[in-house]
Amino acid sequence: MNLKEIAAIAGVSVSTVSRVVNNQNTKCASQEVQNKIWSAVRSLGYTPNPYAQSLKRADLENSTRSFHNSIAYCCATLSSYGGHYDWELLSLIEKEILANHYAVSALHPDSDTDAGEKGSKDLGLILIGEDSDRHIAQYAARYKNIVCISGRRPQYPCDLILLDTHRALRHAIQYLQSLGHMQVSFVGTGKGPFFEGAQLFGSSKNDTRLSFFPCGLSMNSGLQLGASLCDLPQLPSCLLCENNAIACGVIQAIQENGFSVPEDISVVSLDGGLSLSRAALPVRVTTFYYNKTDISRLAIRLLIDRIHRRHSIPVICEPECHLEINGSCAAPVRR
Amino acid sequence: MFGLKDIARLANTSPATVSRILRNPERRCADPSLRERVLEIAKKNGYLPNSDARKLRSGAKFQVPQRKISCFLARTKTDAPGGDQFFSSLARVVEQEAIMQGFALGFSYSASRTDDLLSSSPEDQEETGLIVLGRPDDSEMVPKLQRIFPYLVFAGLQRFDDCVDQVVADGHHAAMTALNYLFSLGHREIAYIGETVRELRYNGYLDFMQSKGLDCAEHLIAPCIYHSYDEGYNAALELMTRPRKATAIFCANDLTAFGVLNALHSIGYRVPEDISVISIDNVELAQFTTPMLTTIQIPQKEIGHFAVSLLLNKMDHILTDQVSISLPCQLVIRNSCRRLT
C-alpha cells in the first residue's frame, strides 16, 4: 500500500495525498477531499515506508546523530547546599545518552558559564537539580536545547522533568496520617525545595502538627541528629527525611540509643542519593521515590525531540511518585 | 553524505558506471584504469552505500505495523463530521502523528458509540493503543477503558487526578492567560460567555476575578447551555441589554466568540473600539473574523505528538511509570482587544 494507490482511490494526485497526510494545516485540498483521503488511509491500512522516510530524514538526523556530537549534563547548584549528588541518576543519564548514539560531556557546575566555547559541539544540556532562573537563562543562552530535571518549577520557560518535591511530601504526609500520626517532623537542609515544601505545609491549615529539624544530607549528619533526638524528653512520633542517607543515619543512631524503629518512631524518606534503603540495617526505609530509569529516558528523549525540532514550546513532564513500603513505619505509640 | 554521484564527479564518469563497478569489482570497463580510480576514490572518501536507499530501490518488504492507535472522542456527541471542531481536528492531528510514528490507524469512536468500545474484548486490544480525547462525562469511564486497553493515554484540557498517562494543555491556565492579557490592557469589567457547569474555563474566570479582587457578579456572566455559535449570539444580545456594561468579553471558546462578534455587530457595537473580545482555542477560522479574533492557542500539534510518543514508549516498555505531560497555551494577539485609555 502506498501513496499512489491512495491517490488512485481518492481520485487525486500523489502529491496531494502526500501533502494531506504529511501536513496538518494544508490548504491544498478541500475538506471533503481530505476526508476522502483519510478514509482511504484508514480503510487500506496505509503506513509510510520506513525506508523511504529514513532516506528522506537522513540529512537532518545523520548530521546530528553521531558520536561526533555530544549531549552535556550538569548538576545544578546542588553542591551549594550539602555537596550531595545523585550518582545513580547521573550514571543512568550517561548511559541513556550513549544508548541514543551521542557522546557524553559532563560539565562542572561551578565552572565559569562563559568559558564554555570548547563545548560548542554539545547539542543540548540536561540540567539536574534546582537552579536559579538566572543560571538557567545563562545555560539556555549557551545551549539552545536544554532540559531541566528539578524538584520545583523554574520561572524560566524550558523543558522540564518535574519531580515535584511538594507532591511527594503531600503523599508522604498523607501516608503518615493514614497510620495515625498527628505530628510530623521534617529532617533536611534548611534550603531548597524540601525546606520550602515543608514550610508551605506548616503555614497551611492542618490538623497535623509539623516541625523541622535542620540536618545535612549525609549519613553522618543523620547519625548526629538521631543521637540528639534521643536526648529529647520525648522522641518525635515520626520523621520525614529528605533522603535515604539521613534516614539510615537516624535509624542507626536511634537503635544505638536503645530505641527501635518502627515501634518507637516511624521513619520515611524521599528518595535521593544511593539506594541506601536497602542498606544492611535491621530495618529498611520506607521511601517515596521516582523511577530514575524513567526519568533519564524521559529527559534524553525530550531533549532529542527538541534537538530535532519536533517541538518548540516548553513542556513539563511529571512522572509518578511511588511509595515503597519497607517496614520502617507503624502506627504511633500511645503515650 | 558521500554518494555515487560524488564519486562519479571526482572520477569523471557517470553514476551508472560507478554503481556497476562497485557492485561487481570484477567488471571490465572500457577504460581499465577507471575501475582502479573509482575504487580508490570510494575508499579514500569512506563511501558507504545507503542501506535505506537500497531497500527502497529493491522494494524490500517492510514489516507492516501490527500496532494500531484508536481515538475515543469522549466529548463529541454526534457522528456528524465537524460536530466538534476542536476535538475532531485534534483527532486528525493524532492520526497523522500516529502514521508518522509507525502505527496503523484503528477505528475512531465518538461518545455516542461508547458501548461499541466498551464491548470490545481485551484480547483483541493488546496491540492497540487508545487515545482518549477530552474528559468523558462518566468519571468511571477511564478506569473501565483501562481494563480493556492496557495502553491508554488521555489527551485533553483538564488534568486527571486518576491513575492515567496524560498529555494536557491546561484549560484553567489558558483562561488565566487570556484574562491576564485583558487585565494588562486595563480592563476591569470583564464579562464571561460560555458554559458554567463543570467548565474549567469558567472556574478559571471566577478564580481570576477573585484573585484580582474584581467584581464577577451576575451582571457579568451570560451562561450558555453548550458552546455553539447560536448560544454565543443569543448570550451576547442578552448581555448587552443589561444596564451595567462590561468593557471586555471573555468567551469560553472560539465558536461562541464568533456568535458574540456577529451579535455585537448586529446591534451596532464596534469591536474592539466599544468592547473587547477574547477567547480560547485558536481554530483555523479565528483569523478570518472581522475583526480578527485575539485568542489563546491550544497546542494541538504538540498534544498529538506527545500523546503518540508517550503511547509508543509505553508499548515498547521504554517507560514503565505513569507520566503527566503538560503543555503551555500561548496568547495569539490579533485585533479584537483594545487598550483602555
The DSSP code sequence of B288-330 is GSSSPPEEEE--HHHHHHHHHHHHHHHHTTS--S-EEEEE--E
B310 shares a domain with B260: no
Chain A residues interacting with chain B (CB cutoff of 8 angstroms): 21-22, 24-25, 31, 35, 38, 41-42, 45-55, 58-59, 62, 157, 290-291, 293-294, 297-298, 301, 305, 310-311, 313-320, 322
Q: Within a domain: residue B79?
A: yes
Percent of chain A's residues with pLDDT above 90: 11
Q: Within a domain: residue A58?
A: no
What is the C-alpha separation between A168 and A288, in angstroms, rounded?
7
- Please return the burial class of A178, using the count of CB atoms within 10 Å of its CB with bins 0-12, 13-18 and 19+: exposed
A157 shares a domain with A69: yes
Q: Which residue has the cell 575501475?
A: B35
| Chain B partners within 8 Å of A2 (Cβ) | none
B50 and chain A in contact, CB less than 8 A: yes
- Judged against a pLDDT cut of 90, whether residue A297 lies above it is answered with yes
Q: Do B319 and A297 touch (CB under 8 A)?
A: yes
Q: Average the pLDDT over B195-217 and give the result.
A: 87
A102 shares a domain with A88: yes
Q: Within a domain: residue A72?
A: yes
Range in A81-85, A166-170, B77-81 with the lowest mean pLDDT = A81-85
Chain B interface, mutation test: which of A36, A315, A321, A322, most B Cβ atoms within 10 Å? A315
Q: Within a domain: residue B53?
A: yes
CATH number at residue A16: 1.10.260
- Give the pLDDT score at A334: 64
Q: Within a domain: residue A27?
A: yes
Give the closest residue to A38 by CA, choosing from B252, B286, B81.
Answer: B81
**CA angle, A322 then A300 then A108, to 5°:** 100
Residue B158: phi, psi to the nearest 5?
A: -140, 130
A277 shares a domain with A170: yes
Q: CB-CB: which of A35, A45, A317 is closest to B323?
A: A317
B23 shares a domain with B100: no
Percent of chain B's residues with pLDDT above 90: 36
Q: Do B321 and A45 touch (CB under 8 A)?
A: no
> B78-92: per-residue pLDDT in tens?
554 445 677 888 888
A226 shares a domain with A256: yes
A118 shares a domain with A38: no
Give the closest residue to A96 by CA, choosing from B313, B166, B165, B308.
Answer: B313
Q: How many CA atoms lie within 13 A of B29 on its CB side?
A: 21
Q: CB-CB: which of A157, A291, A316 is closest to B325?
A: A316
What is the C-alpha separation between A316 and A312, in angstroms, rounded?
12
Residue of A nearest to B81 (CA): A35
Q: Within a domain: residue A54?
A: no
B265 shares a domain with B200: yes
Q: Within a domain: residue B35?
A: yes
Residue of B nearest to A293 (CA): B319
| Pairwise pLDDT comparison (B275 vs A276), residue with the higher score | B275
Write out chain A in H/E/C secondary structure: CCHHHHHHHHCCCHHHHHHHHHCCCCCCCCHHHHHHHHHHHHHHCCCCCHHHHHHHHHHHHHHHCCCCCEEEEEECHHHHHCCCCCHHHHHHHHHHHHHCCCEEEEECCCCCCCCCHHHHHEEEEEEECCCCHHHHHHHHHHCCEEEEEECCCCCCCCEEEECCHHHHHHHHHHHHHHHCCCEEEEEECCCHHHHHHHHHHHHCCCCCEEEEEECCCCHHHHHHHHHHHHCCCCCCCEEEECCHHHHHHHHHHHHHCCCCCCCCCEEEEECCCCCHHHCCCCCCCEEEEECHHHHHHHHHHHHHHHHCCCCCCCCEEEECEEEECCCCCCCCCCC
B98 shares a domain with B181: no
pTM: 0.78
CATH number at residue B311: 3.40.50.2300
Domain boundary among B35, B57, B79: B57
CATH number at residue A192: 3.40.50.2300
Tell me the H-state helices in chain B. Answer: 4-11, 15-23, 32-44, 51-57, 85-100, 114-118, 141-148, 171-184, 200-211, 229-240, 254-266, 300-315
| Pairwise pLDDT comparison (A205 vs A254), residue with the higher score | A254
- Give the pLDDT score at B275: 94
Work out the pLDDT band at A85, boundaries 50, 70, 90. Answer: low
Q: CB-CB: which of B96, B163, B320 is closest to A21?
A: B96
Quick one: DSSP state of residue B336? S
B39 and chain A in contact, CB less than 8 A: no
Q: Within a domain: residue B338?
A: no
> B2-18: per-residue pLDDT in tens?
788 888 898 888 888 88
Alpha carbon A303 to its chain centroid, in Å, reads 13
- Give the pLDDT score at A68: 64
B309 shares a domain with B227: no
A278 shares a domain with A299: no
Residue A60: phi, psi to the nearest 5?
A: -65, -50
Q: Do B56 and A55 touch (CB under 8 A)?
A: yes
> B136-180: per-residue pLDDT in tens?
878 888 888 888 888 999 998 888 877 899 999 988 889 999 999
- Give the pLDDT score at B238: 93
| Pairwise pLDDT comparison (A303 vs A333), residue with the higher score | A303
A188 shares a domain with A200: yes
Q: Within a domain: residue B32?
A: yes
Domain that residue A70 falls in: 64-164+292-318
- Give the pLDDT score at A274: 53
Work out the pLDDT band at A59, boundaries 50, 70, 90. Answer: low
B305 shares a domain with B226: no
Residue-averaged pLDDT of chain A: 81
Give the closest residue to B156 by CA, choosing from B71, B266, B272.
Answer: B71
Q: Average the pLDDT over A269-276 and give the result.
A: 65
Q: Which residue has the cell 550513549?
A: A98
- Give the pLDDT score at A183: 86
B214 shares a domain with B117: no
Neighbours of A43 (CB within 10 A): 11
Domain count, chain A: 3
B306 and chain A in contact, CB less than 8 A: yes
Q: Average the pLDDT over B26-30 and give the result.
A: 71
- Give the pLDDT score at B235: 94
| Chain A partners within 8 Å of B305 (Cβ) | 310-311
Integer-rounded Cα radius of gyration of chain A: 26
Residue of B nearest to A322 (CA): B321
Beta-carbon contacts below 8 Å between A and B: 104
What is the C-alpha separation between A256 and B162, in angstroms, rounded?
43
> A180-220: per-residue pLDDT in tens?
888 889 998 887 788 888 888 877 766 778 888 988 888 88
List strands edge to edge, sheet with B190-195. Answer: B221-224, B190-195, B248-251, B276-281, B294-297, B330-332
Q: Within a domain: residue B336?
A: no
Domain count, chain B: 3
Domain that residue B98 falls in: 68-170+300-329
Highest mean pLDDT among A99-113, B39-53, B196-210: B196-210
| Chain A partners within 8 Å of B321 (Cβ) | 290-291, 294, 319-320, 322
Q: CB-CB: which of A24, A49, A298 is closest to B56?
A: A49
| Chain B partners within 8 Å of A20 (Cβ) | none
- Give the pLDDT score at A83: 46
B306 shares a domain with B164: yes
A96 shares a domain with A9: no
Q: Within a domain: residue B340?
A: no
B292 shares a domain with B181: yes
